[in-house]
Structure 1
Amino acid sequence: MTSNQDTQLATSLRNLLTRLVKKLRKESVTGRQLSLTERSSMALLQEYKQLLPSELASMEKITNQSMSQILGHLSGLGYVSRKGSETDKRKVLISLTPEGEKMLTQMRNERDEWLAKAIKESCTDEEQELLRRALLPLKKLVDMD
């Protein structure tokens, strides 16, 4: 059973991380033209190199129809390409284009630069060390199934 103190910690952490993610999204001028799911889909394509639209939809927890719309938008912007599968001609594989790779890198750089500057300007050396030490337990939370 979870204690009230544990629940309060979870609530505070969730609220704070949500606000930080929103702040980071605003700090990327480049990323404003894309939805969160579009950016996330591009990151998955970068990680996995090629995926079927249905695999992407499953990973993003959205319908195939919604993924089709997302891929249509990303394709129209030149960020993803479609290629027929060599083993099954009925299947189409999706991958990032060089322009999509460039876009992802630029978005990440804008966010990283803002966050590095914010940490440097608002946190003491001791607080920066505390943030470094907090990365491991936060990673454990993210990796937990």
Structure 2
Amino acid sequence: MTGDETKPIDVQQATRLREAMVAVSRRARRQRPAHGLTMTQVALLGDLERHGASSVVDLAERAQVKVQSLTLSLNRLEELELITRRPDSTDRRRVMVELTAIAGPLLEEDRRQRDEWLAAAMAGLSETERGLLMLCIPILSHLADHPDRTDPVRRQG
């Protein structure tokens, strides 16, 4: 058997990997600034930063939630002047949401604190362990792009 042949995956191995990734993710989320935003609100800001001005429907689709589920978060972000809403220039029935100038620095600070925590945690690893983690980046990115069973759009791609 060559190294390229696929062997069945032990579900227990997948479970251990998932649990470890979730634990690291939870620890990183706790390293955020005290800006009072929820992870959902930060995720919405990040989505707008990546995709630019978006309709509420598009935001909900990308977050895989109903439009109504975003209402409170969007209202809070607007109160804090992190987003603005405006009618779509091509379809006045649609509302477009976009970041304000103060949202970018807030997102940068949020990421900076989490990145600094991770860098400090990685400093306690051996050179070999850090190297192994760096080798995992493209593999984890590939896993993140794997289609969901429940997402028909991604399954078609």
* TM-score, length of structure 1 as denominator length: 0.91
Query: Any idea what SS the aligned residue of 1:98 has?
Result: coil
Report the 3-state secondary structure (helix = DSSP H, G, I; strand = E; otherwise coil) of the residue aligned with 2:69. Answer: helix
1:117 has 2:131 as partner = no
Is residue 2:15 matched to residue 1:11?
Answer: yes
How far apart are residue 29 of structure 1 and its match? 2.2
Q: Could you tell me which amino acid in structure 1 is paired with residue 19 of structure 2? A: N
Q: Structure 2: any 5+ residue segments left out of the alignment?
A: 1-6, 148-157
Give the partner amino acid of 1:123.
Answer: L
Q: How many residues align?
A: 141
Letter of the structure 2 residue corresponding to residue 119 of structure 1: M
8 Å CA contact 1:37–1:60 kept in 2: the answer is no
Contact 1:79 1:99 in 2 (8 A): yes
Runs of 4 or more off by more than 3 Å in structure 1? Answer: none
1:62 aligned partner, one-letter code: V
Backbone CA RMSD of aligned residues: 1.5
Structure 1 gaps of 5+ residues are none
Q: TM-score, normalised by structure 2?
A: 0.84
Equivalent residue for 2:141? 139
Show the counterpart of 2:84: 81
Which residue number in structure 1 is paired with residue 47 of structure 2?
Answer: 44
Deviation at 1:30, TM superposition (A): 3.7
Deviations 1:43-62 (A, max 9, x none): 11001111101111111111
